[in-house]
Amino acid sequence: MIRTIEWRRGRVVMIDQRLLPEREVYRVYDDYRAVVRAIRDMVVRGAPAIGVAAAMGIALGARRLPARGFRVRFERMCQALLATRPTAVNLAWAVGRMRRVYREHPREAIVDLRARLEREALAIHDEDIAINRAIGRHGAPLLPDRGTILTYCNAGALATAGYGTALGVIRRARETGKQISVIACETRPFLQGSRLTAWELERDRIPCTLVTDNAVGHLMQQGAIDAVIVGTDRTAANGDVANKIGTYTLAALAARHRLPFYVAAPTSSIDLATARGADVPIEERSADEVTHVAGRRIAPRGVRALHPAFDVTPARLVTAIVTERGVARPPYRRALARLLGAEAPARRGRSSPS
C-alpha cells in the first residue's frame, strides 16, 4: 500500500506529493512548525490526509512543549495548524479530537499526556484506513459491473491515510471483479489527477486514461463515461459538496448527460454546523500556481490570475454520498443527519447555490 503519512519513532514521515510522479521522496518531520508548512505547501494534501497530518503535528509538538505554559502553547500550535488550509473540515475535526484529549486530561503528568496525544493521532490514522475500506464496501455496488468511471483531482490513498475514498470505491469494485476502467482528469492547476491519481492507479494496475479537464463534455457526449465519483473537502448539512475547483463543472455536465454523480466521503468530511455550501470558506491559493506550471511561466508577466482552489456542487446535482456508515441519498439534510446520529438541522437561509 502507498505510504502517504506515517508516525515512525516519534517523527512524522510523509511522501512529498509535489514531486510525484517523477520522484518518490519521503520527508521526515520532528517539528510541528515544519508540519504546518508541509500542509500549507502541499507536501501533503487531500482532506483526510491533512487531518491526519495535523493530528500527528500536534502529537509531535506536544513532545517538545514544557509542562510550564503547556496550555497556551498547545492552543497556539492548534491555531497554527488550523490556519493552514480553510476548506477541508477534516483539519478542524482532527484538531478537535486532539484538543478533546487534552481537555479531558488537563492534570495528567506531561509524559502521560504526550503518550495519550500520540495514541490519538495514530488512532486517527488507522481509523481513516478502516473508514476508507468501509466506504469502498458501501460504494462499489453503485458502480456498474463493467464501465468507465470518471474521477477528478485525487481522492485516493495519497489524499488519505491509505486506500482512498473515491479511489477506494473504484479499488473495491475492481477487487470484487467489476471490469471498471477510470478516466482521470488532470485537474489544473495543481495537476493532482495527472500526477497523483494516474500514478496511484498505474501502480495498482487499474486501467486509467488521462484527459485534460476540458475533454469531459466531449467524452460524455460520446457516451464514453458511465458514472462520476469524486471526494469532498467539506459537505454541508444540506448536501452541498465543496471539492476541488472544477468539480461543479463535472457535476453540471453529468446532470446534463443523465450520468450518476457520486461523492465518497468519510463522515468527518460532513459538517452539519455548515448549513449550506455558500457558507464553506473557499481557499484562495497563489495566482502563481495558475501562471506557472512546474516552475515555468505560462502566462504573460503582470497578467491578473485568480485561483479559487475549491468550488461548491449543489446537492441537487449529487446522486448519492457514500460514507463509511452507508449511502446517503436526497433529501440530504435528513439523510446526513441520520448517518451522523444527529437531529436534522433546521432549514435556514437560501437554498443551494445554483
Our CB check for ligand MRU shows the closer of 85 and 333 to be: 85
Closer residue to ligand MRU, CB minimum distance, 121 or 158 = 158
CB of 47 to ligand MRU, least distance (A): 4
d(CA 194, CA 191) in angstroms, rounded, equals 5
| Closer to ligand MRU by Cβ: residue 45 or 125 | 45
Known catalytic residue at 279: no
Residue (118 or 160) nearer to ligand MRU, CB: 160
CB of 158 to ligand MRU, least distance (A): 9
Cα 50 → chain centroid: 8
Which residue, judged by CB position, is nearest to ligand MRU in the bound state? Answer: 231
CB 1 within 8 A of CB 14: no
Minimum CB distance to ligand MRU, residue 205 (Å): 21
Residue pointed to by grid coordinates 440530504: 332
Binding site for ligand MRU (CB under 6 A): 45-48, 88, 153, 155, 159-160, 165, 192, 230-233, 243-244, 309
Asked if residue 323 lies in contact with residue 136, where contact means CB atoms within 8 angstroms, the answer is no
CB of 46 to ligand MRU, least distance (A): 4
Contact 160, 49 (CB under 8 A): yes
**Per-residue DSSP letter, 223:** T
Please say whether the dihedral angle defined by the alpha carbons of residues 315, 319, 323 and 326, taken in this order, is positive or negative.
positive
**Shortest gap between Cβ of 223 and ligand MRU (angstroms)?**
26
Phi, psi of 84 (to 5 degrees): -70, -50
Catalytic residue among 41, 213, 226, 233: 233
Cβ proximity to ligand MRU: between 101 and 131 the closer is 131
47's grid cell: 482532506
Q: Which amino acid is at 51?
A: G
d(CA 111, CA 53): 21
Closest CB to ligand MRU among residues 53, 77: 53
Residue-wise burial string across 162-176, b where 16 or more C-beta atoms lie within 10 A, e elsewhere: bbbbbbbbbbbbbee
What is the rounded CA–CA span in Å between residue 20 and residue 187? Answer: 15
Taking the CB of residue 34, how many other CB atoms lie within 10 A of it?
15
Shortest Å, Cβ 290 to ligand MRU: 14
Residues labelled as active-site residues: 233
